Each structure stands twice: as C-alpha cells, then as structure tokens.
Amino acid sequence: MIPWKEIDRAKVPGDEGEVTLMVRDQEFSIRTAGTELMNSRIHGSEDALAQLACSRLNPKNKWQILIGGLGMGYTLAAALEHSGPDTHILVSELIPAVVRWNREHLGHLSGMPLNDPRVSVQEEDVVKIIGHKKSAWDAILLDVDNGPAGLTRKANDRLYGPAGLKSSFDALRPGGILAVWSSGVDQAFTRRLTLAGFKTEIVSVRARKSGKGSRHTIWLGKKI
C-alpha cells in the first residue's frame, strides 16, 4: 500500500493545535490530532450541504451566501454550481494555510472554485462575520467541525449554542437557510435550532457521491 506523505502542517489560530495536509497517490487528507477532518475521495455530503441549502432558497439570482470553512473546496464548488450568475459567495476560513493549500494543492479536485469571480475569501472567524450585520445573508453554510461542537477549535462552540444560533438567525434574511454539516446526529442541537426560531429539517446523506459510505447529518434551519 502506498504510504501517506505529509505535505504541510499549520497552527490553528488561538494556539489550539495543528492541521495537517497529507497525500497518498492522488488522494488528499486534512487531519487534526489524529482525526481525519476531510478526504478528497469522500465528499458527497459536503456537496449535499450546498445543494440542499440552495434548493430551499427563494428562487433568484442575487443570493448572498456565507460559507464557514473552506475545507477542500467541495461545498464551495457545489454552491457555485447551484447558484445563478449574480450570486456572491463569501468564504470564511480561519486558517490561512487552508486557503493556500486550496490554491497550491487542492483546487483542481473541485474545479478551482476560488478562481470564480463570484467568490471572495476572508481569513476570519466565521462567528465574527455572522455577527457583523443583520439580515445580510440568504444562506449560511457551516462545515467548520465534525459536528455542532468545537473539534478543530473549542471556540467554535459559540456557533452552536443558543447565542450563536440567535446570531445566525438575525444575520439571515427572511426565508434564509442555516445549513450545518455533521458526521453524526445530535438531538440536543436540533432542539436548540428550533428554540432559536428556525423551522428545522434534518437530512441524512451518504458520505460518498455514489450513495455509499457512512451516513452524515445536515441540519437545514429556515428563518420564517
């Protein structure tokens, strides 16, 4: 078997560990503390995060979409695929190295989405961006951890608690969608979404685009 090779590693801002970019033949992996966060062969649920959110928005071209977490670019590519030509997508990525990895090593995997003129990138905590303006976004897509808890960064817990969900609710336009990716189910998070005012839908999707692999969970909270 071809061994994994480390390409690069980077500190998570706030001195909360490291993320590592690995490669094996044509397969790439991003990991933290021995846990694989994402793999280039398994991205069906990341694609579904964007597709499901976009399919539930009011039909129009000029969507404003915020994506928390660039990852390997698959969610961004899917959001572009399912958006009109006048859509603007802001990607919030806290770790500058992840943006650089996409430009230097990973972009070809998802069709170089960072080169699309509809996209801009801000190397900032998505919590801060969400809190900047009210009624600013048609959709907020969050894929910054393995679920609604801070794995990469404990400070990410602020996204998923009552205060964080209220901030996301306020940041959305009427009819807007908060979409959250998770590797598993979390009934407590479902209750928090509902208590925050969202009309909540839970979708189970397969990890691979082929419909195979483990099941992941996507929450879709609509602001009525």
| Local confidence pLDDT in tens for the 224 residues of the chain | 899 999 999 999 876 689 999 999 999 999 998 889 899 999 999 999 999 999 999 888 799 999 999 999 999 999 999 999 999 999 999 999 999 999 999 999 999 999 999 999 999 999 999 999 999 999 999 998 767 864 344 555 688 999 999 999 999 999 999 999 998 899 999 999 999 999 999 999 999 877 788 999 999 999 99
pLDDT given for residue 35 in this prediction? 87
Q: Quick one: pLDDT at residue 152?
A: 43
Query: What pLDDT does 153 receive?
Result: 42
Q: What is the pLDDT of residues 21-52, one digit of tens each?
A: 999 999 999 999 888 989 999 999 999 999 99
Sign of CA dihedral 64, 65, 66, 70: negative
Examine residue 26 and state whether it is found in any structural domain, yes or no.
no
Residue 13 lies in a domain: no
16 falls within a domain: no
Q: What's the pLDDT score for residue 151?
A: 39
4 located within any domain: no
Total domains, the chain: 1
For residue 76, the domain's CATH number is 3.40.50.150
Asked if residue 156 belongs to a domain, the reply is: yes
What pLDDT is attached to residue 47? 97
What's the chain's average pLDDT? 92
- Range of 173's domain? 42-223
Does some domain include residue 34? no
**Is residue 2 one of the residues assigned to a domain?**
no
Q: Is residue 102 domain-resident?
A: yes
